[in-house]
Chain A
Amino acid sequence: MEALDRVLKPKTKRAKRFLEKREPKLTENTKNAMLIKGGNANLTVTEVLKDIYAVKKPFAVLYKKKNITRPFEDQTSLEFFSKKSDCSLFLFGSHNKKRPNNLIIGRMFDYHVLDMIELGIEKFVSLKDVKNSKCPEGTKPMLIFAGDIFDLNEEYRRLKSLLIDFFRGPNVPSIRLAGLEYVLHFTAVDGKIYMRSYKVLLKKSGCKIPRIELEEMGPSLDLVMRRTHLASDDLYKLSLKQPKALKAKKKKNISHDVFGTTYGRIHMQKQDLGKLQTRKMKALKKRPAEKSVEEDGGSSPKKTKSA
């Protein structure tokens, strides 16, 4: 246990719980995001951060004050914040003449910056501007990525992974089917990324699966990719490594068919067929028909002989 293996042991149960929540575990906590404003953040960027905070509640922290840092030059400030608030995802918004309406989305591994991608906001429609009904806070969104460039280009692939990590929410074992209300749709076309959020309406269709109608809701962003700071391949591979204990244990002697049939295997000892009990098995008894045939066959040679 890490909390008790420190030089200064925690003196209260509360401190111990606090440390245990932050130590590395086999199955990790849901990733928290920190939303930070840069030195000269304008209204658009502030609104974007507020809307994303509303989407990501309660797994996000919105910092109210401006922080004068440049993430691409110096990452120590971000790492310090990450360590203090135990957040591994961040969204940094700033604005200047060279990079207007700038948004840097990134993630951390072991409190050090892993990936950072800078996106420029071309158009933004806020939650307040769309006058439709909204879905409740903390709904797990459905994520859809459209566009073949998300697989072909390395930077877009990392961006896809970052966006999934950012918006996916807690990992749940089961979900209420009627509660699938929120969908985030990302389309990558012509060097631009369109992010749209819709509220899902389930309409009756004749069969079991409902017909989907979408209603525009929530923040919609038109983004363009600017600079990137991606982790090297080996660091990325190291961060993807899962401990062996999480691998599903394979049950021996059980196998599955393509059609879903489960087969079991039983190991028997070698059976001595000479010692099989044949006297008490009805099926092996001679039938009366067979008996008479045998008797005739057996007695007839006698008869012919005598005759």
Chain B
Amino acid sequence: MLPARRPGTERGRFRSRAAGAARTWRRSGAAGPRVAAMAAVRVEELLAAAEEQEAEKQRSIAVHKELELEFDLGNLLALDRNPPAAAGLRGAGQRREALLRALARDNTQLLVAQLWALPAERAGGAAGPLVAQLPEPAFRLPREKPPPRPRPPTRWEQFARLKGIRRRKRGSLVWDEQAKEWRRRWGYRRAGGDPARAWVAEVPAGADPDEDQFAKRRREKRERVARNELNRLRNLARAHRAAGAPAAPLHPTGHQSRAELGRAARVARLSTASLGRFQPRLPKEPAEPPSRGGGKKRRFAPLLGDLAAERSRQLELLRGMSSKKPPLDITRAVNKQLREEDAEAAATKGKKRAQRGKRGRRQQQRPGHSGKKSGSKRQQRRPASGGGGSRRKKA
């Protein structure tokens, strides 16, 4: 007979199986055409019944909505744009509650259907709970605080970037020769002995024999700490000035700098209805240079303006042309060139080291490449060639 029906088999598979069975039945040719027709009718009935069942199951989770819902699964959010049945909801309490509950049930069904469609896996092995991977939340919500701003580099960081100096990771333990073991770099039982128990301080060769070496040590340490703190505060002030100063108002008590006061005065002058064009200047206030974004990029002096200024300008020009001094400031040009070269070298060195890794760092520490000695030698040699070159040009 026909195979036993398993609940939940897919319709297609079932149908092909039944069809196959019917086919074999027909193929055997044992019974007449009437029996085959009856079997076909029974197959049709069974198929219809199976379809009914499937539809029933789908109906239990199917929800009909006029407008599709919008889902944001990252937030477990569903937005229903359909206008709700206002007439029903205006009624009495019980009816309203029932209607609201039905609406909520439908919407929740749709949302859960979407959540169940997400890629899921069993957390913690085969017996664990079924866990779905949620996507990133799509609904834009405002932040709690503004995004963090990167702080500008300190003086040392700028110098290190220029020279290509990278931070070496120091180990936390140091080998102590005296104690013959690994001790921590600072703190309890540090390498180099307890500084409080250092009972001897040698008087160095050129020092005054009456000077208290211990006091000198303490004083120097205090000075070092104070200098470090001062530099840290200076870096902070520089960062604060660079970032927030245009937005921050003037300091209320007299700690303003000259630049701050000038800026404030300029802003105050421009804050009139005619943008500062008719503001009188104080007797000693210098005239504002006209090049501050006046609308034109190049400004030319008027043709017949200040005759005295024109005369002095032309004489200066002649003086400059006739003097034997080279118009180029050699030291400044050389220093600028050196700085550029250093920056370039640092950039390429950084790239190379990133490629080579450890090998690159070891090669970097070779002597003869430090800045000071070779830099000064280069500086002394260059001006001679520079002067010679310019002299040759003139001749």
Q: Which residues of A contact B (CB under 8 A)?
A: 2, 5, 7, 23-26, 28-29, 31, 88, 107-111, 114, 140-148, 150-151, 161, 164-165, 168, 171-180, 183, 185, 187-190, 194, 196, 198, 200, 202, 205-214, 216, 236, 238-243
Which single member of B56, B76, B79, B144 contacts A88 (CB below 8 Å)? B144
Contact call A196/B141, Cβ cutoff below 8 A: no
In the complex, B120 has a CB within 8 A of chain A = yes
A109, A171, A185: which contacts B100 (Cβ < 8 A)?
A185
Q: Which residues from A are CB-within-8-Å of B123?
A: 174, 176
Q: Chain B contact residues (Cβ within 8 angstroms of A): what range? A: 35 or more
Closest B residue to A238 by CB, please name it. Answer: B146
Contact indicator A205/B104 (Cβ below 8 Å): no
Kindly supply a per-residue 1/0 record for chain B positions 70-109, scoring 1 wherever the CB is within 8 Å of any chain A CB and 0 otherwise.
0000111111111110100110000001001101110111
A25, B148: Cβ atoms under 8 Å?
yes
> Which listed residue (A88, A143, A187, A200) contacts B89, Cβ 8 A?
A187
- A185 to chain B: which residues have CB within 8 Å? 100, 103-104, 107-108
A178 to B122, CA, bound (A): 12
A144 to B112 Cα, complex, angstroms: 11
* Interface residues of chain A: helix, strand, loop or mixed (majority): mixed
Residues of A within 8 A of B82 (CB): 146, 148
B117: chain A residues within 8 A (beta carbon):
209
5 closest A-B pairs by beta carbon, nearest first, are A206-B57, A239-B142, A243-B147, A24-B145, A185-B104
Cα separation A175 to B123 with both chains bound (whole Å)? 10
Give the distance in Å from the alpha carbon of A183 to the alpha carbon of B109 in the complex.
11
Contact check, B143 vs A190: say whether CB atoms are below 8 A apart: no
> Complex: how many Å from CA A145 to CA B116?
20
Stretch at the interface among B124-132, B251-259, B320-328, B382-390: B124-132
Q: Give bound CA distance, A205 to B7, whole Å.
A: 13
User: With A147-B83, A177-B115, A205-B61 in contact, do A187 and B146 touch (Cβ < 8 Å)?
Assistant: no
Closest B residue to A208 by beta carbon equals B116
**Are A142 and B58 neighbours in the complex by a CB distance under 8 Å?**
no
Query: B133: CB under 8 A from chain A?
Result: yes
Q: Is the CB of A107 within 8 A of B80?
A: no
Q: Which single member of A7, A24, A172, A189 contacts B148 (CB below 8 Å)? A: A24
**B residues within 8 A CB of A175?**
76, 115, 131-132, 134
Which single residue of chain B is at the shortest CB-CB distance from A197? B104
Report whether A140 and B133 are in contact in the complex, using a CB–CB cutoff of 8 Å.
Answer: no
Beyond A109-B145, A142-B78, A176-B131, whether A194 also contacts B60 by CB under 8 A is no
B101 with A216: CB separation less than 8 A: yes
Do A207 and B58 touch across chains, with their CB atoms under 8 A apart? yes
Known: A7-B236, A161-B141. A173 touches B134 (CB 8 A): yes
Chain B residues whose CB sits within 8 angstroms of the CB of A146 once the complex forms: 80, 82, 84, 103-104, 107
Provide 25 A-B residue pairs closer than 8 Å at the C-beta atoms, listed in order of the A residue: A31-B144, A107-B142, A109-B146, A142-B78, A147-B84, A161-B139, A161-B142, A164-B141, A174-B131, A174-B132, A175-B134, A176-B132, A177-B130, A178-B130, A183-B104, A185-B104, A185-B108, A189-B89, A189-B90, A202-B112, A214-B101, A214-B104, A214-B105, A216-B101, A242-B147
The residues of B that contact A179 with a CB separation of less than 8 Å are 129
> Known contacts A212-B108, A212-B112: does B139 contact A194 (CB below 8 Å)?
no
Do B113 and A209 touch across chains, with their CB atoms under 8 A apart? yes
Expressed in whole angstroms, the Cα–Cα distance for A88 and B97 within the complex equals 33
